[in-house]
Amino acid sequence: MTSSSSQSIVINADAQRVLDVICDFAAYDQWVEAVKNVEVIETDESGRAVLVGFVLDAGVFKDSYRLRYDHGEPLRVSWVLDEPSNVQKHQVGSYDLEDQGNGACQVTYTLSVDLSIPMLGMFKRKAEKMIMDTALRELKKRAEERQ
């Protein structure tokens, strides 16, 4: 059974602005350091991306993969790995936004990744923590600078 990890951060931008940054996948390579290329492969009837391809280069961790997104709830974006990649067997994640009512929102990032290569549990948890720390810090910077 794959376990998940969660982290939260408060961003000084309203929830809709933060959600817009999260859902602007085509711009990820401009502000997410490890993302080298993004391709929106499929959109829904509202024009929201539902299948997105990523090329990631985070030093020792390099991968090309596709995520399938669900925009079912107003302040939530969730995803699953569309098919196994060279490095990942499984990935499930979400961003849950909570409006703080003062022009800020709290973002909770939940992530579960199952790798194709064996990894000790403590190293996996450290890697997930690093991924989430970096993602939330980069999201905060991008959302706050675009005010």
For every residue of 38-83, DSSP letters joined together read EEEEEE-TTS-EEEEEEEEEETTEEEEEEEEEE--STTEEEEEESS
pLDDT > 60? residue 122: no
| Mean of pLDDT values over 8-35 | 95
Q: What is the pLDDT of residue 119?
A: 61
Which residues 6+ apart lie within 8 Å of 45 measured at CB?
none
- The pLDDT confidence band at residue 128, using thresholds 50, 70 and 90, is low
Residues of the chain with pLDDT > 70: what percent? Answer: 88
| Mean of pLDDT values over 107-133 | 75
Q: What is the pLDDT of residue 25?
A: 96
Q: Tell the burial category of 121 from Cβ atoms under 10 Å away from its Cβ (0-12, 13-18, 19+).
A: exposed
Residue 98's identity, in one-letter code, is E
Sheet holding 49-58, edge to edge: 5-11, 105-115, 88-99, 76-81, 61-70, 49-58, 35-43
pLDDT > 80? residue 123: no
Would you state the torsion angle of the CA atoms of residues 40, 139, 84, 60, taken in this order, to the nearest 10 degrees?
A: 120
Domain boundaries defined on the chain: 5-145
Short-list 4, 3, 35, CA closest to 108: 4
pLDDT > 90? residue 104: yes
pTM (two decimals): 0.89
pLDDT > 50? residue 95: yes
Query: For 5-145, CATH number?
Result: 3.30.530.20
pLDDT > 60? residue 102: yes
Q: What is the pLDDT of residue 1?
A: 41
pLDDT > 80? residue 129: no
Give the model confidence (pLDDT) of 112-121 as tens digits.
888 776 665 6
CA distance 127 to 121: 10
